[in-house]
Structure formats: C-alpha cells, structure tokens
Amino acid sequence: MFITFEGIEGTGKSTQIARVREYFEAQGREVVQTMEPGGSRIGVELRKMLLHVDNREITPTTELFLYLADRAQHVGQIIRPALEAGKVVLCDRFADSTIVYQGYGRGLDTSMLRELNGVAVNGLWPDLTIVLDIDPEIGLKRATLRNIEDGKAKEEGRFEAEHLSFHQRIREGYLTWAAFNRKRIRVIEAAGTPEEVFARVKAAIENLGNDAA
C-alpha cells in the first residue's frame, strides 16, 4: 500500500505520518517512511538546493525539473522496491505537490505537469493521498516556528519565506486538485488536536481498505 500526505506548510504531516506508521506496525506490517524532496541519497542533495532560503533565484521551470529528478530517483530506488517487497510506504509529499506548487502556485500548465510527473513516477501513483487542510496563516506560522526551533530557518525556509498569498493559492490548488481526483485524494481537516486529526486520517485509510474489499 502506498499512501502520500500533502498540504500547505505547517499542517502537521510529520505528526500524522508517525501515527499512521504506528497504526500499521501494530498490525504487523512493515513500513517504509520517506519524504520528498530528499528520500534518496541523491535526493538529499537536491533537497538542499530546493529548500535553502538563499536559492530564491531558482526559476519555476528549474524548480520543476529538480523536483522531477528527485522523484524519479526516489521511485526507482526507494518506493517501488519497497512496494514490490510487500511493504507499506508512507511518503511526505509526492507528485501532487508538484502539480499544486508549480502549477497553481507558480503558474505552470497543470496538464504538462501531470504528463511530466507520469514520466517521473513511471506509472506509480498512490493508492491514497491525504491532504491535510488548514488556514494558510495558521500553517505558515506553525512552519516558521518549527524551522526556527529546529535551527533550519535558512536551510529549509525557502517556501516559508513566500508571501501569504502564495500559500493561499497553494491551499486553493490542493482543494481544486482534490476535487478532480476524488477517488484517490481525501481532504482532512487539520485543525484540532493530533488525536482528533488522526481519527479522521485513520477513517480514510480504513475506508480505502473497505473499498478494496
């Protein structure tokens, strides 16, 4: 099973992924937890380029191809082998991020992005994508504070440095893209306690299992 987690900055994806991992491991499933960018050795280097606040001069098209390169390596080296071995793969961001951030956020053509993503993932799309939804102002404050506390305000702060209007476009983009992909994408309200949010996430996962049955 391949599950991806999406959303604007500061929605609590890391917290929910950790809880979902515990949920599957309690069932005796082997879980691979990964992320984009940076899920492979080469991806770690690409992540440094993509997220460092000093790299604001990266053009939208350059940004796109760096993400696609990261994704192609990630799928080939990490995700596909894990799925073929029968493991559950939980990924913090995947192809939908590129369609939303570079499409709805940067203004690139979404049809082109879908096609290029198809090449990068080589036909491998998630079984379920969970979009954690929250007010952009709240999410941005959370993400900025997190980076400061982790000492990564420069290393991983390029998107947090974007204007609030950018993050509002991203949120709207996720909701629009989810409406186009109702069979795969579930929008989950990310406000509330981690326990309340996880209850909603778990219900989406269990519904997927029921649908498959």
**What does the pLDDT profile of the chain (213 residues) look like in tens digits?**
999 999 998 899 999 999 999 999 999 999 999 999 999 999 999 999 998 888 889 999 999 999 999 999 999 999 999 999 999 999 999 999 999 999 999 999 999 999 999 999 999 999 999 999 999 888 888 877 877 777 776 676 677 778 889 999 999 999 999 999 999 999 999 988 999 999 999 999 999 866 544
Give the CATH number of domain 2-212; options: 3.30.70.20, 3.40.50.720, 3.40.50.300, 3.40.50.1000: 3.40.50.300
Name which of 134, 136, 195 is nearest 164 in CA terms: 136
Domain range annotation of the chain: 2-212
How far is the C-alpha of 137 from the C-alpha of 33, rounded, in Å? 28
Report pTM. Answer: 0.90
How far is the C-alpha of 131 from the C-alpha of 172, rounded, in Å? 12
Give the position of tokens 């990266």: 58
Is-contact 90 5, C-beta < 8 A? yes
- At a CB cut-off of 8 Å and minimum separation 6, what does 90 contact? 3, 4, 5, 17, 20, 21, 24, 31, 32, 33, 34
